[in-house]
Amino acid sequence: MVELSESYLNLILDLQDRLESLQTAIASQPEPAPAIAQDWQRSLKEIQAFFQQQIVNTSLEVTPPHLSLQVEIDKQLKMLGVDLSMLQTSRSLATWQKRHQQISDRFVTLQKYCQMHTS
């Protein structure tokens, strides 16, 4: 298997750090806060832009298994956006908590995919 360049690995680690920051922000808000959820949406859009511009459209050589991981990360980022939209419109505490847990689970999946890149 071809070794990934250190530059590519650093981009993945940067993505992982950005995801962890957003995850921490969301985890600290267990009760409905639509205005804050809107800020999270903006943060996610920035993460998605970074992922597309720096990782997907890289000129660095990427192996097929890592391209597959990119596809999965892209899919999970899009689904996270849907989850955040639904969280933002949650009115009851029960619905907020359910969506909040779905988002937490999505972050776990994203972290696993990032770790698979670096292992």
Q: Structural domain boundaries of the chain?
A: 6-118
Whether 55 contacts 11, CB under 8 Å: yes
At residue 21, the pLDDT reads 97
- In the prediction, which pLDDT does 2 show? 46
CA 7-10-15 angle, 5° bins = 130
Low-confidence ranges of the chain (pLDDT < 70): 1-4
Domain 6-118, second-level architecture = Up-down Bundle (1.20)
Q: What is the pTM of this model?
A: 0.92
Q: For residue 110, what are the contacts with CB-CB under 8 A and spacing of at least 6? A: 19, 73, 76, 77, 80
For residue 98, CA distances in Å to 27, 86, 103, 109 come to: 13, 10, 9, 17
φ and ψ at 36, to 5 degrees?
-70, -40
Distance, CA of 49 to CA of 6 (rounded, Å)? 21
Residue 117 CA: distances (Å) to CA of 40, 68, 90, 105, 107: 25, 10, 34, 19, 16
Instruction: Retrieve residue 33's tokens.
Output: 């806060």
Please write the tens of the pLDDT for every residue from 64-89.
889 999 999 999 999 999 999 999 99
pLDDT of 62 reads 84
